[in-house]
Structure 1
Amino acid sequence: MSMSFLFTFTIIISFGLCILYASAELQRLSHSSKHDGALSFLVLGDWGRRGAYNQSQVSFQMGKVGEKLDIDFVVSTGDNFYDNGLTSDHDNAFQESFTQIYTAKSLQKQWYSVLGNHDYRGDAEAQLSPVLREIDSRWLCLRSFIVDSELVEIFFVDTTPFVEEYFTEPQEHKYDWRGIGPQKPYITNLLKDLELALRESTAKWKIVVGHHAIRSVGHHGDTQELINQLLPILQANNIDFYMNGHDHCLEHISDTESPIQFLTSGAGSKAWRGDIKGMNRRDVNFFYDGQGFMSVKLTQTDATIEFYDVFGNVLHRLTSSKQLHSSM
């Protein structure tokens, strides 16, 4: 075997491994709708504090609303465990902040979760581990994936690697970038896979979930990297809702260039930050600087989204309708 052939073969294999390593292909999971075709779920973010900062009280109200709506599952928008994620897949914080807190009967459903920036500050891969699902079968956390119920497709996007400052100015924090590979190829592949999946989707409703806000008037505000790279793809593919956490508040902001509604549910525990930017923006429909969560109910023709505070009061309601087209 010639040296030139060995060199060429090595280059081809290395290139292939690089492409494989940087790939962010979306895994697809199925979740059936109810017999009448409807679907309902709760959305919660920024919560895991061993019950502190009203986490337990929010959980109690979630249980009541979950029972009333007969929810099918729960969506977590990230920052699942504070302050620095989990130390391993045997970290007691998993049970102390999740299993022992969300105990209501109605919450014993599948939880679909993404990672937030605080999760990346610990052992990020621990939250992806099947070991956690053995401890509590409700738990399912992946980087980016799709939940398909036919009525709706929910596209979960790993937004933390988009944010440049986590790479360039991590300050005292150490981020666990294992499994990400080079940042730019990872994001490029993720966006390519997401765009293809959105374009091919035939679901009545299309929802995208990420940890970071695209639009927000809370402490962190808009995420410019998502505005530049993710938002154009969402606008071009008829997305109904973008749901996120990161800012510890509840908010509803409308896109000024498309029908997309930006919905923040990051108030699962520590809130009341008091840092609000641009409340006079004409696209802001609702903002609440306190603990709470969000519910979503979908049918073939209607979406009803409600924001609740820590006492279970409905603070804001969003309704959206679509025409029911019959096939000829």
Structure 2
Amino acid sequence: MLPWTALVLLFLQASLALGYPLTPALRFLAVGDWGGVPNAPYYTARETANAKEMARAVKNLGADFILSLGDNFYFTGVRDAEDKRFQETFEDVFSDPALRNVPWYVLAGNHDHLGNVSAQMAYSKVSRRWHFPSLYYRLRARVPSSNASVSLLLLDTVSLCGVSDDFADGLPRGPRSPEAARAQWAWLRAQLAAARDDFVLVAGHYPVWSVAEHGPTHCLQRRLLPLLAQHRVTAYLCGHDHNLQFLQDEQGLGFVLSGAGNFMDPSKKHARKVPKGYLRFHYGEETSLGGFVHVEITPKEMAVTYLEASGKSLYKTKLPRRPRT
């Protein structure tokens, strides 16, 4: 785990190298389900279109890091740290000079767990921009030129809830190791209880709420949602469903779903399983080249912008900083 001082320094060095102005904001891109295909050429047209637009977003909007929301390698992850998929699906695709100095912070999805997740963590020692230190971990930073702080808690929702089979009903069947799941829940409870930051973000692969093909994740509704509400978390970020969604509950908690890095699915089959009024934005146009999210955190608020790979801004919303306790 990097201390916030080292993390801020890393962000500032990346910003200076990329040449965009340093203003009092922390910025990042969030993209999920971008992991190509297991046969040549090992990438898709949507993935390459997203990579191109992400580079443009870094140059024009700024991004201190990229948050990878899982399903990094379709369909069965990687074998080892020397697997050619790292080169052909990641390095060769996200190769624009604007992306070379931007660190990626990675978590695992259900397709990653069908392979060797430890190999993805080991790749952190191979690539200077791939950071995946453990199954779940915390990042903390201050918004530049301010005292506002941000905590980002990255979870392994597959370990918490189980591996889902997208070619069956897609429902997680429960954790493979209940003991490991209990340890992660305990870690999360402790982290949230200790967080005094102005913005607290939690990220995982599975959604809490989703109107799309996979729908809400019952395990997260039961165990995670009460913690998010109790500790007044700013937003939960995820992927898994292959589209873009923004949902918000009555307390103002935001749910940012960014799973359009490789596939697009227009489904709204679980719309009735999401409380009325929660869904604020949904985009799953089948002819689209996909998209991702740009987040900008200032001392006062967090702006979330959904960008299509064509360059079009689809939707923008803002979330306030947490009240001081």
**Aligned residue number for residue 66 of structure 2:** 74
Find the residue that maps to 1:149 and give its secondary structure: strand
Equivalent position amino acid for 1:198 in 2:
L
Q: Please state if 1:162 is matched with 2:156.
A: no
Q: Deviations over 1:216-241 (max 9, x none)?
A: 01110000000101111111111000
Q: Give the deviation of 1:277 after TM superposition.
A: 2.6
C-alpha distance in 1 between matches for 2:157 and 2:227: 14
Equivalent position amino acid for 1:94 in 2:
F
CA spacing shift, 1:194–1:96, aligned 2, 3 Å: same
**Aligned residue number for residue 241 of structure 2:** 247
> Is this contact kept in 2: 1:308–1:314, CA < 8 A?
yes
Find the residue that maps to 1:62 and give its secondary structure: helix
**Aligned residue number for residue 118 of structure 1:** 111
CA spacing shift, 1:323–1:277, aligned 2, 3 Å: closer
Q: Deviations over 1:68-95 (max 9, x none)?
A: 1221000000000001000111110111
**Aligned residue number for residue 35 of structure 2:** 48
Number of equivalenced pairs: 289
Equivalent position amino acid for 1:160 in 2:
V
**Aligned residue number for residue 294 of structure 2:** 295
Q: Give the deviation of 1:276 after TM superposition.
A: 3.6
C-alpha distance in 1 between matches for 2:302 and 2:212: 25
Equivalent position amino acid for 1:298 in 2:
I
Out of 48-57 and 85-94, give the one that drifted further: 48-57
RMSD in angstroms over aligned alpha carbons?
2.6
CA spacing shift, 1:322–1:122, aligned 2, 3 Å: closer
**Aligned residue number for residue 227 of structure 2:** 233
Q: Deviations over 1:181-236 (max 9, x none)?
A: x6222122211111111121121110000000000011100000001011111111
**Aligned residue number for residue 306 of structure 2:** 307
Q: Give the deviation of 1:38 after TM superposition.
A: 1.8
Q: Give the deviation of 1:162 after TM superposition.
A: 2.5
Q: Give the deviation of 1:134 after TM superposition.
A: 4.2
CA spacing shift, 1:128–1:245, aligned 2, 3 Å: same
TM-score when scaled to structure 2? 0.82
C-alpha distance in 2 between matches for 1:145 and 1:170: 30
> Is this contact kept in 1: 2:207–2:239, CA < 8 A?
yes
Q: Please state if 1:138 is matched with 2:136.
A: no
> Is this contact kept in 2: 1:300–1:324, CA < 8 A?
no
Equivalent position amino acid for 2:150 in 1:
V
Q: Percent identity?
A: 26
> Is this contact kept in 1: 2:31–2:260, CA < 8 A?
yes
Q: Deviations over 1:258-297 (max 9, x none)?
A: 3210010011011135454317932100001141000000
Equivalent position amino acid for 1:127 in 2:
Q
C-alpha distance in 2 between matches for 1:208 and 1:66: 22
Equivalent position amino acid for 1:286 in 2:
F
C-alpha distance in 1 between matches for 2:72 and 2:322: 37
**Map 1:1-328 → 2, pairs under 5 A:** 27=1, 29-30=3-4, 31-32=7-8, 36-49=23-36, 50-108=42-100, 109-129=102-122, 132-141=123-132, 142-150=134-142, 151-164=149-162, 166=164, 183-256=177-250, 258-274=251-267, 276-278=269-271, 281-290=276-285, 291-322=290-321
Find the residue that maps to 2:226 and give its secondary structure: helix
Find the residue that maps to 2:88 and give its secondary structure: helix
TM-score when scaled to structure 1? 0.81
CA spacing shift, 1:123–1:37, aligned 2, 3 Å: same
CA spacing shift, 1:69–1:155, aligned 2, 3 Å: same
Equivalent position amino acid for 1:45 in 2:
G
Larger Rg, first or second structure (1 or 2): 1
**Aligned residue number for residue 19 of structure 2:** none
Equivalent position amino acid for 2:260 in 1:
A
Equivalent position amino acid for 1:251 in 2:
Q
